[in-house]
Structure 1
Amino acid sequence: MSTITALPAPLLKQQQVQAHYGVSDWTVNQWVRKGCPVVRLPNGHRRFDLAEVKAWMAEQSATGREQRRRQSEHALSQRSA
């Protein structure tokens, strides 16, 4: 009897990530520069694991919310002073 294991999700091309999020190639390139996980193939092409990209996006969103909260608190403290 053999065991069935889940296969990893296929890696997406940049154009597929762009279509999924409705963004331009420039935006995806900026995400990569900011640390978005990417797999480099031996031929130099990039591929994206959508689950990893989604996790990175969630992390970025949480970080952004925290930064906005701190900025808001700072602005309020400046007004009180």
Structure 2
Amino acid sequence: MSVTTLPLPLLKQRELQEYFGVSDWTVNGWIRKGCPVQYLPNGHRRFDLADVRTWMATQAPAGREQRRRQSEHALAQRSA
């Protein structure tokens, strides 16, 4: 029997969700947007926390701008 070692820290999706306090829908959206994910031979997904943090740092400016526009739009809707 051979054991394949994986680089640490690899997290299961549930662990990633708990770490960031988000839902499975959010993580699946991140994956569609390019969040780094590693697929195991059995099809399960694992996430390198350092890689995810780096990816999120590149996404943050765009995400902040999008949230700002959404907030402005919501405020304009309320006052209309």
What TM-score, normalized by structure 1, do the two folds share?
0.67
Superposition pairs for residues 35-74 of structure 1, below 5 Å? 35-65=34-64
In 1, the alpha carbon distance for the partners of 2:18 and 2:63 equals 23
Match of 2:37, as an amino acid?
V
Tell me how many residue pairs correspond in the alignment: 61
Once the two structures are aligned, what percentage of the paired residues are identical? 66
In 2, the alpha carbon distance for the partners of 1:34 and 1:47 equals 16
> More strand per residue: 1 or 2?
2
SS of the residue corresponding to residue 41 of structure 2 reads: coil
Instruction: Quote the offset at 1:61 in angstroms.
Output: 0.6
In 2, the alpha carbon distance for the partners of 1:26 and 1:62 equals 21
Structure 1's consecutive aligned runs of 4 or more residues displaced over 6 angstroms after TM superposition are none
What TM-score, normalized by structure 2, do the two folds share?
0.68
- The equivalent of 1:33 in structure 2 is 32
Unaligned stretches of 5+ residues in structure 1? 1-7, 72-81
SS of the residue corresponding to residue 43 of structure 2 reads: coil
Unaligned stretches of 5+ residues in structure 2? 1-6, 70-80
